[in-house]
Amino acid sequence: MTIPTTLECLCGQVRLRIDGAPVARANCHCQACRDFYATPVFAATAWEPAHVLVERGAEHLATYHHRTRQLERQFCRQCGETLFGTNRLGMSVIPNSLFARASGGALPEALEPAMHLFYRHRVVDVEDQLPKFLDGWDGPLHKAGF
């Protein structure tokens, strides 16, 4: 399965065009992502900003800036769906749910998460074979049974 090159919000007012390959593919367990995206685990891909272009409906996008962290979220004013966020590293972060919907319900294999980040902050245990970094991807790994 190929990576979708266009993504739309639920109402279709906003369309993104995605070029290239993601910089990172991860399940994030940090408190900021859990709060910001209202989910116990945020499954997403991170892209260089130049590879995520608003192809249609920029006037329908609104931005929410996190009140204490360097995070922002772009969402459709019409349907409210988050299309992408910007993390503290300046990467455009796209929820995997958008790619799955654009691919008929299944996430393309090329976009499947490759790791868990901030696993020490998890609210649910995950049983899979992916590396589980306690903090960022340059830190220590979680050891099963601890």
pLDDT in tens, 73-125: 999 999 999 999 999 899 999 999 999 999 999 999 999 999 999 999 999 99
Contact by Cβ (8 Å): 3, 98? no
Q: Which two tokens stand for residue 38?
A: 């209202």
Domain boundaries, the chain: 6-121
Region 6-121: CATH code:
2.170.150.70
How many other C-beta atoms lie within 10 A of the C-beta of residue 107? 20
pLDDT in tens, 40-75: 999 999 999 999 999 999 999 999 998 888 889 999
Structure pTM? 0.90
Contact by Cβ (8 Å): 26, 36? no
Please enumerate in sequence order all residues whose Cβ is within 8 A of that of 74, keeping only pairs 6 or more positions apart, or say none. 61, 62, 63, 82, 83, 84, 85, 86
